[in-house]
Amino acid sequence: MGHHHALLLDVVLAVKHILNVVKRVVKVNSAILNYSHVAFFQRDRITSFRKTGGKKEKPLIQHPTDSSSGQAELPVPQPFFDERSMNLSEKEINDLFEKMMEDMNLNEERKAPLRGKDLNTKREMVVQYISATAKSITGSKVAGGLRNSKHESTLSSQEYVHELRSGITEEKLLNCLESLRVSLTSNPVSWVNNFGHEGLGLLLDALEKLLDKKQQENIDKRNQHKLIQCLKAFMNNKFGLQKILGDERSLLLLARAIDPKQTNMMTEIVKILSAICIIGEENILDKILAAMTIAAERNNKERFAPIVEGLENHEAQQLQVACMQLINALVTSPDDLDFRIHLRNEFLRCGLKKILPEIKETEELDIQLRVFNENKEEDAIELSHRLEDIRAEMEYPFVYHLLSNMVKDTASEPYFLSILQHLLLIRNDYYIRPQYYKVIEECVAQVVLHRSGMDPDFGYSKRLDVDFSQLIDQCVDKAKVEESEQKAAEFSKKFDEEFGARQEAQAESQKKEERIKELEEKIQSLECEGAVSGSYHLCKSI
């Protein structure tokens, strides 16, 4: 009996050790996103977005019910019992069983029927799962609950870390990433946790290295796609999502990797960004926009240009749907009406307005287009309600009197007066004055519209030390060039008109000259006939 108690004690200690490891991994408080269902989730959730005038609630993310979504399968009870586990109390078995389900990334819908299993079945599943988890940590081949029907992981998480750190060749890296993707998909959260402490940084390093290459070979593009797939699998649980959002490089690298020429990879990236935008933390929209802005500045493009370009690809319908999902996610996320309108107008100016009528609608794409149009109409109605009483006064000069009355006898009045006085200081130059107003208007738009739902830091008292002289000079030069080009175009048009008129006149003149020549020939012919006739009569009279 003492021997059995000693063995049982060994089991309990081992189980508690594994339990402590699991606890550090699964200590979460909210639902888990499964990215293999992003398209369906967004289609169902984003179509229900509506503005209610108050602060919008984040849509509730339910766990997927599809067991083939890439999570570890449930361990199948085997017809054997470990004597050392028989004396574990019911509470200990149930606690371990709950931790096992958490570690396997199961949702509440899948947990419910498992909780109804009898105690012996739970005991078998827990023992088998702990054994399989221990083997996966040490690098042994997986078994039981960690076995995938198609793939079998032969590397531990730390062995993958070693492979990524060793600087392997491009071909070996491709095979390593494919194997890692399968392992991240099929192993439990504890395995992902163990890999993520060092592995995530190595994945981001590899992706950044590929993005920095000036000329990418085909193998580089394939590795880049595999890295995106690994990151997608890594983010398939609460730990992975928090870990990758905690790295400031992650969103920027995802934004930089957006390439309309690589449709499959871009589709996955855009779906990831859409889901993060919807379920992420409060300031996640600002982070995504900042990442897209920095990525665009590196390529000297507008930040939304790649998304609109992807939407133009009529050959890649899934990419079109994903791009519209991201557009809707970005535009509907802000609680502030002005910011929503600002983002929507930025997309429209970037080319979306032009291509929307040209898009060939499919069932999925039609849903996203309807969401976009419905939200646009609702924002327009909300704005009209806000301005209903002053709609007629939004044009000059009524808008000035309206603004003056709004600030009159308030603390804002001296600042408003100061603004007007400073505007009077703009020198009266045909080219320069419009450019000053253009820059000022852009600055006001940035301050008033482009914000994250928070007011500026009014306690900041330092001067805004910005030198706009170079910008003004560039604007003036650009205005002069545009005016010169316009005049040149007008002169060219006039020249073409004059040249055409001259050619027509020459053709008409040539016709008239030919007609004159023809008439002269007839006259000469008639004169000759008259001369011959006169000679004949003269001879006859003689």
Residue indicated by tokens 């580089």: 220
Provide φ and ψ at 64, rounded to 5°.
Answer: -65, 155
User: DSSP assignment, residue 352?
Assistant: I
Residue range 74-95: average pLDDT?
Answer: 58
Range with the lowest mean pLDDT among 150-154, 230-234, 278-282, 361-365?
150-154
User: DSSP assignment, residue 35?
Assistant: G
What are the helix (H) ranges across 302-412?
Answer: 305-311, 317-332, 337-347, 353-355, 363-386, 398-407
For residues 350 and 77, which has the higher predicted lDDT (pLDDT)?
350
Residue range 114-132: average pLDDT?
Answer: 71
Phi-psi region of 158 (alpha: psi -120 to 50; beta: other; left: phi over 0): alpha
The residue among 209, 41, 192 whose CA lies nearest residue 104 is 192
For residues 444 and 133, which has the higher predicted lDDT (pLDDT)?
444
The residue among 302, 217, 219 whose CA lies nearest residue 258 is 302
- So what's the pLDDT on residue 57? 43
Q: Indicate if the pLDDT at residue 262 is higher than 90.
A: yes
For residues 165 and 15, which has the higher predicted lDDT (pLDDT)?
165
- So what's the pLDDT on residue 148? 39
Distance CA 360, CA 365 (A): 9
Highest mean pLDDT among 244-253, 398-407, 462-471, 522-531: 244-253
The residue among 173, 195, 171 whose CA lies nearest residue 184 is 195
- So what's the pLDDT on residue 389? 56
- So what's the pLDDT on residue 50? 41
Q: What angle do CA 8, 10, 16 make, to 5 degrees?
A: 100
The tens digit of pLDDT for each residue in 181-203 reads: 988 888 888 888 888 889 999 99
- So what's the pLDDT on residue 290? 93
Q: pLDDT tier at 107 (50, 70, 90 boundaries)?
A: low
The residue among 298, 302, 274 whose CA lies nearest residue 288 is 274
Q: Indicate if the pLDDT at residue 540 is higher than 50.
A: yes
Amino acid at 103: D
Q: pLDDT tier at 216 (50, 70, 90 boundaries)?
A: confident
Residue range 440-444: average pLDDT?
Answer: 81
Q: What percent of the chain has pLDDT over 70?
A: 67
Residue range 478-497: average pLDDT?
Answer: 80
Q: What percent of the chain has pLDDT over 90?
A: 23
Q: Indicate if the pLDDT at residue 258 is higher than 80.
A: yes
Q: pLDDT tier at 456 (50, 70, 90 boundaries)?
A: low
Highest mean pLDDT among 211-215, 244-248, 318-322, 491-495: 318-322
Q: What is the 3-state secondary structure (H, E, C) of 59-84?
A: CCCCCCCCCCCCCCCCCCCCCCCCHH
Q: Indicate if the pLDDT at residue 207 is higher than 80.
A: yes
Instruction: Verify cis geometry, omega within 30 degrees of 0, for the bond prior to 113.
Output: no
Does an H or E element contain 21, and which? helix 2-26
Choices 1.25.10.10, 3.30.70.380, 3.40.50.150, 1.10.260.40: CATH for 152-392: 1.25.10.10
Residue 412 exposure: Cα atoms within 13 Å on the Cβ side: 7
How high does pLDDT run on average in the chain?
A: 74
Q: pLDDT tier at 86 (50, 70, 90 boundaries)?
A: low
Residues near 211 by beta carbon (within 8 Å), at least 6 away in sequence = 224, 253, 256, 257
Residue indicated by tokens 């009266």: 428
Q: What is the DSSP string of 122-181?
A: HHHHHHHHHHHHHHHHHTPPP-GGG--SS----S-HHHHHHHHHTT--HHHHHHHHHHHH
- So what's the pLDDT on residue 449? 60
Does pTM top 0.95 for this prediction?
no
Q: Indicate if the pLDDT at residue 234 is higher than 60.
A: yes
Work out the number of other CB atoms within 10 angstroms of the CB of residue 525.
Answer: 10
- So what's the pLDDT on residue 269? 96
Distance CA 136, CA 155 (A): 8
Asked if residues 304 and 284 have their Cβ atoms less than 8 Å apart, the reply is no
Q: Indicate if the pLDDT at residue 33 is higher than 80.
A: no
What is the CA 109 to chain-centroid distance, rounded?
Answer: 31
Q: Indicate if the pLDDT at residue 115 is higher than 70.
A: yes
The tens digit of pLDDT for each residue in 348-398 reads: 888 898 898 888 778 889 999 999 999 998 988 888 777 665 555 667 777
Distance CA 30, CA 239 (A): 11
Residue indicated by tokens 């000036």: 214
Task: Domain ranges for the chain, please list them.
Answer: 2-30+71-138, 152-392, 426-453+468-527
For residues 265 and 171, which has the higher predicted lDDT (pLDDT)?
265
Residue range 397-415: average pLDDT?
Answer: 87
The residue among 268, 200, 279, 208 whose CA lies nearest residue 238 is 279
Range with the lowest mean pLDDT among 4-18, 223-237, 241-255?
4-18
What tokens does 259 get?
């390439």
Amino acid at 196: G
- Burial class (CB within 10 angstroms; exposed 0-12, middle 13-18, buried 19+) of 227: buried
- So what's the pLDDT on residue 144? 36
- So what's the pLDDT on residue 388? 66
The tens digit of pLDDT for each residue in 270-328 reads: 999 998 988 867 789 999 999 999 999 998 889 999 999 999 988 889 999 999 999 99
For residues 215 and 125, which has the higher predicted lDDT (pLDDT)?
215
For residues 452 and 385, which has the higher predicted lDDT (pLDDT)?
385
Of how many residues is the chain composed? 542
What tokens does 374 get?
């419905």
Provide φ and ψ at 5, rounded to 5°.
Answer: -65, -35
Q: What angle do CA 220, 222, 227 make, to 5 degrees?
A: 95
Distance CA 171, CA 181 (A): 16
